[in-house]
Amino acid sequence: MTHYGQSLLGCGMIDDRHFEMEDYQGTIARWCPGCGDHSILTAMQRLLEEEQLKPENTVFVSGIGCSSRFPHYMKTYGFHGLHGRALPVATGIKLERPELHLFVAMGDGDCCSIGASHWLHATRYNMDMLAVLLDNNMYGLTKGQTSPTTPQKFPSNTQPSGTYLRALNPISATLGVTNASFVAQTAEWIPPHLFETLKVAYRHKGFSFVRILQRCPVYTASIFEEAVRDPDLIELLIHDDGVWVKDLDQIYGHTFYHDPRDLNTARALAEPSDRLRLGIFYRNEDVPVYEEIRRLPSYTADERVRTLNQELDRYAV
């Protein structure tokens, strides 16, 4: 990266910095070896490089959990806040500074349990940000408790004889929310698909929700084991307007040509099946974006004071 001088910025001079991947690397990631989050981090850093996002104009917001350590490992602005509450913070940032590139990283407990209401409402606000759900089907940081996405019967430390309830389906849930504008699913163990999905999601204007299936070597290694080994258990949703990584067709024989504009089919495809479906379920570029609905003209200090004086006139004795 070329170094900017104090004089370069803020004086209307051309900013010709070029960013390499390492320009986006924060502190060394401290996730377990074999944790799927590493691959997601790399894909994200690649995305920022590909898009040449200015680190100072990029913000990663997260909640609390293993996955929510994400902002620390990025060399951008970051906000590592409260368990379940990443989305309200992101909402505030976007309302105040719509020009910032905004990313949100959440775990499945974070997003689908404690933060579920924010997830629903953020989908409805449809603000321009990329929200990734790092879904390892388990509470990682707190050491192996059932999460809403844990498969039924899978044992956990709080439900040792097997998880009682059927798993919540984050894709169907999101597709059910009014104003949903971008819903996709990918897996961290297929880096090209992961990368392409993140890229398309980032370029979508609105709330892009990407569920990333993520292995946890400690608590849920067995859940994705088969799908990782056997491409037969994966079905790729492909489309010219979706994610279509050509070389992947060689490995993954099952593909389904799905137009992401088709919400009804998307909802049907989101239902559980024999194969894990990866790709873009739904995309709608026409849903209004909340920060634009709420955008108001800006006024100078003098104008504000003048208007407030008029306001006081109305209350004058």
Partner 1 sequence: MDNGLPCSLLIASDGLDSALARMLEIIRVPETTVEVVSDSGEGAQKCGQIFGSVCAKMGNGAWTVEIIPAEIQPPPRTPAGGSGNRIRFGTEEITNWGDAANLVVAFNEQVLLGRIELDALAHDAIVLLENMWKTHADETIQKEWEGGLEKIRAAGYYKIVEVPMEEECLKIVDDARRGKNMFALGLLTCIYDRDVELVKAQIAHQFRKKGKDIYERNVELMELGYKWASKNLDFRIDVPTVRSDVPKVVMNGNEAIGMGAIAAGMQLCAMYPITPATSASHYLGEAYDKFGGVVHQAEDEIAAVGVAIGASYAGKVAFTITSGPGLSLKQEFIGLAVMLEVPLVVVDVQRGGPSTGLPTKAEQSDLMAAMFGQHGDAPHVVMAPATIEECFHIMVTARRIAETFRTTVIVLSDANLATGVQPFPRPKLDTRWLQTPLNLTPWPENKPPYDWDEQTGLSQRVIPGQPGGEFAATGLSHTSWSKVAYDPESHQQGCQMRSRKLAVLQQALQPPEIYGVDSGDLPVVGSGSPKGTIEEVVDRALAEYGDLLLVGWGSTKGAIEEAVDRARAEGLSVSSIHLSFLSPLPPGLEMIFCRFDRVMTVEINYSDEPDDPYISEENRRYSQLAFLLRAQTLVDVDCWSRVPGQPLRPGEILNAVRQRLRTGVMV
Ligand X SMILES: Cc1ncc(C[n+]2csc(CCOP(=O)(O)OP(=O)(O)O)c2C)c(N)n1
Q: Min. distance of Cβ 122 from ligand X in angstroms?
A: 16
Residue 166 binds partner 1 (CB under 8 A): no
Residue 144 binds ligand X (CB under 6 A): no
Quick check: 81 and 88 in contact, CB under 8 A?
no
Q: Min. distance of Cβ 260 from ligand X in angstroms?
A: 27
Q: Min. distance of Cβ 156 from ligand X in angstroms?
A: 11
CA distances for 61 relative to 86, 126, 247, 256, 291, angstroms: 6, 16, 33, 34, 17
Interface size with ligand X, residues (CB under 6 A)? 17
77 or 189, CB closer to partner 1? 77
With CB under 5 to 8 Å by kind, the binding choice for 308 among partner 1, ligand X, none is partner 1
Interface stretch with ligand X, choices 106-114, 124-132, 185-193, 280-288 (CB under 6 A): 106-114
Q: How deeply is 12 buried, as exposed, middle or buried, from its count of CB atoms within 10 A (0-12, 13-18, 19+)?
A: exposed
Quick check: 73 and 222 in contact, CB under 8 A?
no
Cα–Cα distance for residue pair 161/172, rounded to 1 Å: 27
108 or 235, CB closer to ligand X? 108
Cα–Cα distance for residue pair 102/79, rounded to 1 Å: 11
The residue within the footprint of partner 1, chosen from 55, 109, 140, 206 (CB under 8 A), is 55
Residue 88 binds partner 1 (CB under 8 A): yes
Residue 83 binds ligand X (CB under 6 A): yes
With CB under 5 to 8 Å by kind, the binding choice for 29 among partner 1, ligand X, none is none
Q: Which residues contact 268 (CB under 8 A, 6 or more apart)?
A: none
Residue 67 binds ligand X (CB under 6 A): yes
Cα–Cα distance for residue pair 146/223, rounded to 1 Å: 13
Q: Min. distance of Cβ 291 from ligand X in angstroms?
A: 26
- Regarding beta strands 77-80 and 58-62, do their DSSP bridges make them parallel or antiparallel, or are they unpaired? parallel
With CB under 5 to 8 Å by kind, the binding choice for 65 among partner 1, ligand X, none is ligand X
Neighbouring C-alpha atoms within 13 Å toward the C-beta of 226: 7
Instruction: List residues binding ligand X (CB under 6 A).
Output: 64-67, 83, 107-110, 134, 136, 138-142, 147
